[in-house]
């Protein structure tokens, strides 16, 4: 089993008959999926998604893949294949198209429709190439074949990539729901056919590799949602992913059966469901939908709201309902809130904070912990074993998962007969070359986080985030002092101000004499440089704060020469 190492250097030149695979995101994390394939001097990209920030990344809106490795080769890109329409697979496309606008974007009808709606907000007109399952296409040296896969969004695809170096199957996100609501099954027959012909490298979804058995069918969720809507005494608020058309369809069906009107809440929910309705993926009975502005005119027991915010996102509609900042919806007793989603790792605290906020105002909150209101969109271990046995790949590279998921998937591959030395465990930036039928790690390329902060991309570094964390956790102390530029002696008393440190007006009385002693000592030694004086003052305050308060705030000394 191959392992990445920090000491990996740049990869050697790719042999003419080889295929290079570099993940720029999606390995060791849930999100930011982007894989670059290189063959015969040309590039093909599969997915280009975003990662959502965690609490230790304050102020960050999105995290992008690092495009630096391909930035000098944008003209070599034949196209970007999108496996499906989730943000962690297509959310970074607008930022890639800023660098080269005419890159062909290849995907299914619904996936491209969601992307096109997003790109309008960025004022980008893309070059779109619609494909569907059982279709083939040629892009430079890459022969593509597309397969239907079942997932928590319509029109998801897997893609086989044929080159002179061999055949690669990238599953995208998938599961094997045997009773999908839209009747669109994962194409196991197509995968088996591909396996009989020979798959040299399998890149497969690892998200649920630790979960035994098979994923519950989406159809089993319908009766639970129906029961929640039927028994609710007041309004029903359903929070779901804004792309989960099948889940929203079940809510619409239940609302119609029990005489409720439905309003969509949240910009992405309104946009995505509008696209799904226009393309025929969402069946909306006439008269069922109402505008959110008209909801106040309806009795509470005739209202069903479908909202964003199932992951506790701070600015989402549901979070604003929980903290009473939503300007149209105020949670009251008898309201029922249904969280029809799973918890993405890292979002647990935010979600439970929202649940507590909603409960505080008297709402009944139904979530996965108390009822079967969600099933995963990712294959469990039983399904992954089924796929491995059907495809019989020569090499396996687990993708889309945290390290525990990747390792669990690797062990499944070994159990099904993939040789241990042909199971490649890589991380973002690690180079994997398929040469003469064997995949192996050959080097690494620079690959870090690229932060989007407001309208700025890449202007926030880890150093800036560290400063933000210090400011948020420890506070800020500023000391301003005037010194004689000739003698270095202090002119007047130092002025100390602080934010987020202490509310006591006398908090810094004890440190003032220490600052004055430090400056007198510097003057006696002939130190007059403002920078040196500032460093001395910072050391004195830092030592005093640490000894007195056991804290490490940000300290900014300002020395004015007079």
pLDDT of 3 strictly over 60: no
At residue 343 the predicted structure's pLDDT band, cuts being 50, 70 and 90, is low
Residues 404 and 545: their CA atoms lie apart, in Å, by: 41
Residues 455 and 451: their CA atoms lie apart, in Å, by: 11
**What local confidence, expressed as pLDDT, does residue 346 receive?**
60
Average pLDDT along the chain: 89
pLDDT of 345 strictly over 70: no
The residues, ordered by sequence, that sit 6+ positions from 238 with a Cβ below 8 Å of its Cβ are 225, 251, 304, 305, 306, 307, 337, 338, 340
pLDDT of 4 strictly over 60: no
Domains and CATH numbers, the chain: 19-214+376-457 (3.60.15.10), 218-366 (3.40.50.10710), 475-561 (3.10.20.580)
pLDDT of 523 strictly over 70: yes
At residue 298 the predicted structure's pLDDT band, cuts being 50, 70 and 90, is very high
- Work out the average pLDDT over 335-364: 82
| In the chain, % of residues over pLDDT 90 | 61
Q: What is the pTM assigned to this prediction?
A: 0.84
Among 50, 8, 11, residue whose Cα is nearest residue 29:
50
pLDDT of 536 strictly over 80: yes
Among 342, 334, 332, residue whose Cα is nearest residue 310:
342
The answer to whether residues 50 and 20 touch, using CB atoms and an 8 Å cutoff, is no
**What local confidence, expressed as pLDDT, does residue 476 receive?**
76
**What local confidence, expressed as pLDDT, does residue 62 receive?**
81
**What local confidence, expressed as pLDDT, does residue 433 receive?**
98
Residue 292 three-state SS: helix
Q: What token pair was written down for 433?
A: 């070359």
The answer to whether residues 384 and 423 touch, using CB atoms and an 8 Å cutoff, is no
Among 106, 118, 375, residue whose Cα is nearest residue 221:
375
**What local confidence, expressed as pLDDT, does residue 157 receive?**
98
Comparison of pLDDT for 371 and 284, the residue scoring more: 284
The residues, ordered by sequence, that sit 6+ positions from 312 with a Cβ below 8 Å of its Cβ are 318, 319, 347, 349, 350, 351, 352, 353, 354
Q: What is the radius of gyration, based on Cα positions, of the chain?
A: 28
For residue 416, how many other CB atoms are within 10 A of its CB?
Answer: 17
Q: What is the pLDDT of residues 60-113, one digit of tens each?
A: 778 899 999 999 999 999 999 999 999 999 999 999 999 999 999 999 999 999
Q: What is the pLDDT of residues 413-469, one digit of tens each?
A: 999 999 999 999 999 999 999 999 999 999 999 888 887 776 667 666 677 767 666
At residue 137 the predicted structure's pLDDT band, cuts being 50, 70 and 90, is very high
Q: What is the pLDDT of residues 490-511, one digit of tens each?
A: 666 777 877 777 777 777 778 8
- Work out the average pLDDT over 350-361: 88
**What local confidence, expressed as pLDDT, does residue 468 receive?**
66
Q: What is the pLDDT of residues 259-289, one digit of tens each?
A: 999 999 988 899 999 999 999 999 999 999 9
**What local confidence, expressed as pLDDT, does residue 177 receive?**
93
- Work out the average pLDDT over 344-354: 73
Angle at 227 between CA 253 and CA 217, to 5 degrees: 70
At residue 1 the predicted structure's pLDDT band, cuts being 50, 70 and 90, is very low
């Amino acid at each position: 089993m191959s392992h990445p190492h920090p000491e990996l250097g740049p990869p050697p030149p790719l042999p003419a008959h080889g295929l290079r695979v570099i993940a720029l995101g999606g390995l060791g994390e849930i999100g930011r999926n982007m894989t670059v394939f290189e063959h015969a001097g040309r590039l093909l990209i599969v997915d280009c998604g975003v990662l959502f920030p965690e609490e230790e990344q304050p102020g960050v809106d999105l995290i992008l893949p690092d495009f630096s490795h391909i930035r000098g080769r944008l003209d070599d890109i034949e196209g970007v294949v999108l496996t499906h329409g989730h943000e962690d697979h297509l959310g970074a496309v607008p930022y890639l198209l800023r660098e080269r606008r005419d890159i062909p974007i290849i995907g299914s009808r619904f996936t491209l429709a969601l992307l096109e709606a997003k790109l309008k907000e960025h004022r980008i007109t893309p070059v779109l190439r619609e494909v569907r399952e059982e279709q083939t296409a040629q892009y430079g040296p890459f022969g593509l074949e597309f397969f239907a896969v079942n997932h928590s969004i319509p029109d998801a695809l897997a893609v086989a990539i044929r080159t002179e170096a061999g055949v690669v199957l990238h599953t995208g996100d998938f599961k094997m729901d045997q009773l999908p609501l839209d009747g669109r099954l994962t194409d196991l027959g197509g995968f088996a056919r591909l396996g009989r012909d020979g798959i040299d490298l399998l890149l497969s979804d690892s998200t649920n590799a630790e979960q035994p058995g098979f994923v519950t069918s989406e159809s089993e969720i319908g009766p639970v949602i129906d029961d929640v809507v039927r028994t609710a005494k007041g309004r029903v608020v359903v929070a779901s992913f804004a792309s989960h058309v099948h889940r929203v369809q079940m809510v619409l069906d239940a609302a119609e059966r029990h005489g409720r009107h439905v309003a969509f809440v949240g910009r992405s929910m309104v946009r995505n469901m509008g696209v799904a309705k226009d393309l025929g993926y969402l069946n909306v009975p006439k008269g069922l939908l109402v505008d959110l502005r008209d909801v106040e005119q309806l009795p509470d027991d005739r209202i069903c709201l479908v909202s964003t915010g199932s992951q506790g996102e701070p600015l989402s509609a549901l979070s604003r309902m929980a903290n009473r900042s939503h300007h149209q919806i105020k949670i009251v007793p008898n309201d029922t809130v249904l969280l029809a989603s799973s918890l993405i790792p890292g979002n647990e605290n935010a979600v439970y904070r929202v649940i507590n906020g909603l409960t505080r105002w008297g709402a009944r909150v139904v979530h996965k912990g108390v009822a079967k209101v969600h099933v995963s969109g990712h294959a469990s271990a039983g399904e992954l074993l089924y796929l491995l046995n059907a495809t019989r790949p020569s090499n396996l590279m687990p993708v889309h998962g945290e390290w525990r998921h990747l390792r669990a998937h690797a062990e499944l591959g070994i159990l099904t007969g993939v040789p241990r030395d042909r199971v490649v465990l890589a991380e973002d930036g690690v180079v994997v070359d398929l040469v003469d039928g064997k995949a192996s790690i050959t080097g690494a390329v620079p690959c870090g986080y690229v932060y989007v902060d407001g309208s700025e991309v890449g202007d926030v570094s880890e150093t800036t985030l560290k400063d933000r964390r210090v400011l948020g956790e420890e506070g800020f102390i500023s000391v301003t002092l005037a010194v004689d530029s000739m003698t270095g002696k202090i002119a007047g008393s130092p002025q100390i101000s602080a934010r987020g440190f202490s509310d006591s007006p006398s908090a810094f009385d004890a440190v003032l004499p220490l600052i004055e002693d430090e400056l007198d000592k510097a003057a006696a030694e002939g130190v007059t440089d403002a920078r040196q004086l500032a460093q001395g003052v910072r050391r004195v305050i830092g030592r005093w704060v640490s000894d007195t308060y056991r804290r490490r705030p940000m300290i900014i000394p300002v020395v004015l020469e007079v």
